[in-house]
Each structure stands twice: as C-alpha cells, then as structure tokens.
Structure 1
Amino acid sequence: MKDTRTIYLLFLSTGTLLSKAIDLYTKTDLNHVSIAFDEGLSEVYSFGRKRPYNPFIGGFVREAVTEPFFNQSMCAVYKIEISKEQYVALRQHLQMIESMQHLYRYNFIGLFGFIVNKEIKRTHAYFCSQFVATMLQAIDVYPKDKQAGLTRPDDLRMWPELDLIYMGTLQNYLNLDEKKSRLRLPIRSFFRMS
C-alpha cells in the first residue's frame, strides 16, 4: 500500500469590496485559494493581505481563518492525496518561503497580465492561485503545462484530482470540525484503554 498524505485547498470569498469586484470580473465566486495541511485549517498558507482590512499590502501569509475578518466568508474545502515524498517537498518549499517572507510580495502586476492573457512572472511575487499552482507544480502534482500565472482559483477548483469535502460558510465548517474533534476524542480514548 502506498504511503500518502492529505493536503487541502481552501477556496474563499470574503465578501469585501475587492472580492466582489473580482467575482464580477471573473463571473465566479470563491476567488481566493490557499493550501492547508490539516482538515481543521489551523495551518493555511497563501498570498494575500498581510493586514486583513488593507487590500494593498500583500504577500506571503499564514492565514488565521478564525479571525473576525473571515467570519462571513463563504468557502469550499477540497482535499487531495499526495505521496509522502511530495508532502515533505511541499513543506520544505513553504518553509523556505516563510523563512524569507520579507522578500516576497503580492503580484499585482501579474493580475494585470492575467487580464490580457499574458503571464507575467516576477521574482518572489505571486497572487494566490499562481502561488498554489506553482507549489503544486513544484512537487509534480498539478500539470506543468498549465501556466501558473494564468491559473484562476476556479481552474484549480475544476481540477478533477480534487475531492470536495465541504461547501458553505467558513464559520460553520470550523464549528463542524470542532464538533468532530470533540466526538473523536472519547473514541480514541476508548481504543487506547482496550
């Protein structure tokens, strides 16, 4: 049996003015995407706002999805199985970026390239879906023939390798996961005792 690990992609719509403008332009919703390492979303990474209420200061972020800024967010959570080696490589890529996050910034110029359908690659600069696609391509999970700088969150959502596990409000998802954790605890304890 193959040794695999599960990672998660979190798609969000925060309902902010900028989010609504992007939704209108793309004619889709859930236009922000992040990579998560656990079902409970306690470890979530993306490129986005460094300060929740300021859309113009962006870069690499570890997102705290329990913050009030995300309270009214709609979301979809997908999972994908990857090999242990791919999982380790992904963690290493993210740790390297996190250790040098002061060098990374949000790729606003790349968004304009997206509008004219011309990929604009910049050193140490990504927008959210470009970042996720690049990370997944680096570990040979997402197809390399897809241009990361022209990848929309919706392109990732339509990727057949993903399995949808939840769609609804982020707050309800986090509450459901908290309830599952409480329910799992006595069962684990029971099996440890027997």
Structure 2
Amino acid sequence: MSGERYVYIMLSDTGTLFTNLIKKYTKAPYNHASLSFDPELKEMYSFGRKNPKNPLHGGFVKEDIHTGTYSKFKDTTCVIYKLEVTEREVEKMKRIIDVFIRNDDKFLYNILGVIGVSLKEPVEFSNSYFCSQFVAEILRRSGIHLWDKLPVMVTPDDFRKNERLQLIYEGKLFNFEPIKKQL
C-alpha cells in the first residue's frame, strides 16, 4: 500500500422527533451513518432524507453539511471515525457509489429493514437500504469485512463498537474543526 488511505464514517444524531423515537428504542447515542472519502466530509453518502422537512421521503443521498439536512439541524451531534483502507478498496467503493449516483431514483429507503433489525430478522429488498446497511454494504462489496453478519443487520452502533475504526472526533458537528473552517 503506497501511503495511508482512509475512508471516514460519521455517525450522527440530528435531535429530530424521528431520530428521538429511534433512540428511545435503540438506546444508542447515534442513529445515522454516512460514508465519506475526505476528512472534511465534503463528499458524504448515505440513505436518508431526500427532503430535510420530511423524514419519510428517503433514499440514496449525497449529503451536504452546508445545504442539506444537517444545515437545518445546527445542534447535530456526531462521532467521526477513520478506517484504513487500500487504494484498490477506495476505487471499488467509488465505482459502487457511482452506480448509486447514476441510478439514484431507483433506490428506496428500507424502513422495513430498520424494523427487521429491531426484530432480529433481516428484511431485504433489492435496491432498498437504510443508512448503516448501505455503509456496511459498500464496505463489504469492496472487500472490507468488519462483522460476521449481513449488512442488513448492521446498526450505526455496530460501527461505534468496531475496533478497526479509529475515533477522530466526537461532539457537535458544526464544531468539528474542518467544518468550522468551511463556515
């Protein structure tokens, strides 16, 4: 491997009614997972709200901290991890994500999958994901295996508890130094 390469995984909590309902059930501090290729989080991908005002209209999203959902929730808390990867793994991830970008309108938010995780029963549909399932699937398809379970059973808290991920920040999203510099 020529030099160190990383991808970044951000877990977040916007503090909305929807996320607070999920937190009551999961008892986990963060309930949304995103994948980024840069430490400034300028290029982040996930499955979530297509429209910041409507938590039920979801799908594949390229997240923009300054104009998207996060811009509406300035008190968002987060934890950011880096994961060491190879150049080849990054290339694979980007190729897979390009398929999502090109077919954005064909993907749906897997709300039943979220319920399935809570029932410990995988519920998968083709072209349908929830946030942590999506991030786990991208990693798995790129040859990175962090767990011995299906991506559809991976929760944001599973990332938090994985020893391969290195913590680089925890706190208010807009206090994260690389983001503060962009404001």
Q: Structures share a fold, TM > 0.5?
A: yes
1:45 aligned counterpart, secondary structure: strand
Q: In the TM superposition, what are the counterparts of 1:49-88 in structure 2 within 5 Å?
A: 49-67=49-67, 68-88=71-91
Partners of 1:70 and 1:170 within 8 A in 2: no
User: How far off its partner does 1:66 sit?
Assistant: 2.0
Q: In the TM superposition, what are the counterparts of 1:61-140 in structure 2 within 5 Å?
A: 61-67=61-67, 68-140=71-143
Structure 1 runs of 4+ with >2 Å offset: 1-4, 142-145, 178-181
Which residue identity does 2:165 align to in structure 1? L
What is the CA–CA distance in structure 1 between the aligned matches of 2:115 and 2:181, rounded to whole Å?
42
User: How far off its partner does 1:9 sit?
Assistant: 0.2
Q: Give percent identity, aligned residues only.
A: 36
User: How far off its partner does 1:142 sit?
Assistant: 2.4
User: How far off its partner does 1:2 sit?
Assistant: 4.0
Which residue identity does 2:11 align to in structure 1? F
> TM-score, with normalisation over the residues of structure 1?
0.87
**Cα RMSD, aligned residues only:** 1.6
Partners of 1:15 and 1:73 within 8 A in 2: yes
> Which consecutive residues of structure 2, in runs of 5 or more, have no partner in the other structure?
none
Pick closer, same or farther for the CA change 1:26–1:34 going to 2, 3 Å: same
User: How far off its partner does 1:118 sit?
Assistant: 0.6
What is the CA–CA distance in structure 1 between the aligned matches of 2:141 and 2:118, rounded to whole Å?
25
CA deviations on 1:125-152 (whole Å, 9 max, x unpaired) are: 0000110111111111124631111111
What is the CA–CA distance in structure 2 between the aligned matches of 1:10 and 1:178, rounded to whole Å?
13
What is the CA–CA distance in structure 1 between the aligned matches of 2:162 and 2:141, rounded to whole Å?
17
> Which consecutive residues of structure 1, in runs of 5 or more, have no partner in the other structure?
182-194
**Alignment of 1:166 onto 2:169:** yes
Q: Which residue of 2 aligns with 1:177?
A: 178
What is the CA–CA distance in structure 1 between the aligned matches of 2:179 and 2:148, rounded to whole Å?
39
Partners of 2:146 and 2:162 within 8 A in 1: no
User: How far off its partner does 1:112 sit?
Assistant: 1.8
What is the CA–CA distance in structure 1 between the aligned matches of 2:181 and 2:49, rounded to whole Å?
30
Which protein has the larger Cα radius of gyration, Structure 1 or Structure 2? Answer: 1
Pick closer, same or farther for the CA change 1:179–1:107 going to 2, 3 Å: closer
Which residue identity does 2:132 align to in structure 1? S
User: How far off its partner does 1:115 sit?
Assistant: 1.9
What is the CA–CA distance in structure 2 between the aligned matches of 1:38 and 1:80, rounded to whole Å?
11
User: How far off its partner does 1:65 sit?
Assistant: 1.3
What is the CA–CA distance in structure 2 between the aligned matches of 1:116 and 1:6, rounded to whole Å?
33
Partners of 2:6 and 2:37 within 8 A in 1: yes
**Alignment of 1:26 onto 2:29:** no
Partners of 2:31 and 2:156 within 8 A in 1: yes
Report the structure, 1 or 2, having the larger helix content. Answer: 1
What is the CA–CA distance in structure 2 between the aligned matches of 1:2 and 1:9, rounded to whole Å?
22
Q: How many matched pairs?
A: 179
